[in-house]
């Protein structure tokens, strides 16, 4: 199946990375491959390591890369597991890395759920389709992997309240958690539509008439919990910063130091808060400079063409 994902803030992200020469870029969240494809087409000498914990991501997007395959290498891992490969370790089994610890010229984190995962994964990310309530980014989860089915059928009421409010910022979290507890006494909650009905029965009628679907925040919260997205983000940012290229010379008063750059696109306040704090901490420690003091947001035209871009925020830093 072809990818249907529309890459958010594509032009702004790539231009913010200040790419040139024979740079090596780490696309830490390959998704639909939009950023990687644009970079390879713009810069004929640049190479990309692309990561995604969803193995199907490359299968769905690889037709886009005909003629470009020799300059992109896909690795099926979560970005929290990234390490800088050393020669001979086989960490990234390709021949690009020779002589010394690898440092990347640029790293991209696009934290949004791709349209392919939302619409075509069959894993229960969308409340608009009746699918098994898995919500895991892994294409083939093992029996040991946490799923949303596990959470809604076995977690206690207070734990449900905590994640629905804490990760989804859902003001009716207590009502929804209570509804889940009562519903599962009768039957296991197995599908997205099972959960949507419970949420709909738990919230006020007026809430269901608002612009944002009444199940949005609960589904977001469960997805974040299943995949430990916020914990992974904190780890991924730290590891990513460590493997950014160090500057060849001290940065000057204009902020041009030549170090590697990291761009992060976030889509909700919890993610953006983590990114903002991480960037601020690196700046205060004189380890990085902020390329944009305020986040870059999509223009009206992009929002019109892709409503899912509405909440996107792009932040960029440079290692010094």
Of 227, 252, 269, the residue that ends a domain is: 227
Report the DSSP beta bridge partners of residue 26: 49, 107
**Which residues, 6+ apart, have CB-to-CB distance to 90 below 8 Å?**
none
Banded model confidence at residue 3, pLDDT cuts 50, 70, 90: very low
Query: With 60 as the cut, is the pLDDT of residue 90 above it?
Result: no
**97 domain-assigned:** yes
At residue 179, the 3 state secondary structure works out as: helix
Q: Which two tokens stand for residue 229?
A: 């997205």
- Count CB neighbours of 148 within 10 A: 25
109 labeled part of a ligand binding site:
no
Structure tokens at 241: 């910063």
Task: Tell me the pLDDT tens digit for each residue of 92-129.
Answer: 555 555 555 678 999 999 998 766 666 677 899 999 99
Contacts of residue 138, Cβ cutoff 8 Å, sequence gap at least 6: 53, 54, 55, 145
Strand order in the sheet with 47-51: 72-75, 47-51, 24-27, 106-110, 261-266, 313-319, 288-290
Residue that terminates a domain, selected from 185, 202, 227: 227
245 shares its domain with 101: yes
Instruction: Tell me if 145 is assigned to a ligand binding site.
Output: no
88 is known to lie in a ligand binding site: no
- 35 is known to lie in a ligand binding site: yes
Give tens-digit pLDDT for 196-244: 999 999 999 999 999 999 999 999 999 999 999 999 999 999 999 999 9
Domain assignment of residue 274, given as a range: 10-114+232-319
What is the predicted pLDDT for the residue at 227?
A: 95
Annotated binding-site residue? 150: no
Q: Which of 8, 120, 79 is nearest to 232 (CA)?
A: 79
Residues forming beta bridges with residue 24, ordered by sequence position: 47
Neighbours of 89 (CB within 10 A): 12
Model confidence at 45, in pLDDT bands (50, 70, 90)? very high
Residue 5 lies in a domain: no
**238 and 105 in one domain?**
yes
Do residue 33 and residue 162 come from a single domain? Answer: no
What would the pLDDT profile of 250-307 be if each residue is shown by its tens digit? 654 444 457 999 999 999 999 999 999 999 999 999 999 999 989 999 999 999 998 8
105 is in an annotated binding site: no
Looking up tokens 């889509």 gives: 267
Is residue 33 part of an annotated ligand binding site? yes
Please give the tally of structural domains in the chain. Answer: 2
């Amino acid at each position: 199946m072809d990818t249907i994902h529309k890459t958010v803030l594509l032009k702004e992200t790539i231009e913010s990375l200040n790419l040139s020469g024979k740079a090596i870029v780490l696309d830490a969240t390959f998704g639909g491959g939009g950023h990687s494809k644009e970079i390879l087409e713009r810069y004929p000498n640049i190479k990309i390591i692309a990561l995604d914990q969803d193995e199907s991501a490359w299968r769905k997007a690889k037709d886009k890369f005909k003629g470009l395959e020799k300059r992109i290498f896909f690795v099926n891992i979560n970005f929290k597991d990234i390490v800088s490969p050393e020669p001979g370790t086989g960490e990234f089994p390709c021949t690009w890395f020779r002589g010394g610890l690898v440092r990347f010229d640029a790293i991209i984190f696009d934290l949004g759920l791709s349209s392919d995962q939302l619409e075509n994964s069959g894993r229960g990310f969308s409340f608009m389709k009746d699918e098994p309530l898995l919500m895991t980014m892994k294409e083939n989860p093992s029996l040991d992997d946490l799923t949303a089915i596990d959470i809604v059928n076995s977690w206690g009421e207070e734990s449900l309240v905590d994640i629905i409010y804490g990760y989804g910022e859902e003001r009716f979290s207590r009502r929804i958690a209570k509804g889940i507890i009562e519903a599962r006494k009768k039957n296991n909650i197995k599908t997205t539509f099972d959960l949507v009905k419970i949420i709909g029965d738990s919230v006020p009628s007026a809430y269901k008439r608002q612009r944002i679907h009444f199940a949005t925040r609960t589904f977001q919260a469960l997805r974040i919990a299943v995949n430990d997205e916020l914990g992974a983000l904190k780890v991924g940012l730290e590891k990513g910063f460590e493997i950014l290229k160090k500057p060849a010379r001290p940065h000057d008063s204009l902020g041009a130091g030549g170090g590697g750059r990291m761009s992060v696109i976030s889509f909700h306040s919890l993610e953006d808060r983590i990114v903002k704090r991480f960037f601020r901490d690196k700046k205060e420690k004189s380890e990085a400079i902020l390329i944009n003091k305020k986040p870059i947001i999509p223009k009206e035209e992009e929002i019109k063409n892709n409503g899912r871009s509405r909440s996107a925020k792009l932040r960029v830093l440079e290692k010094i």
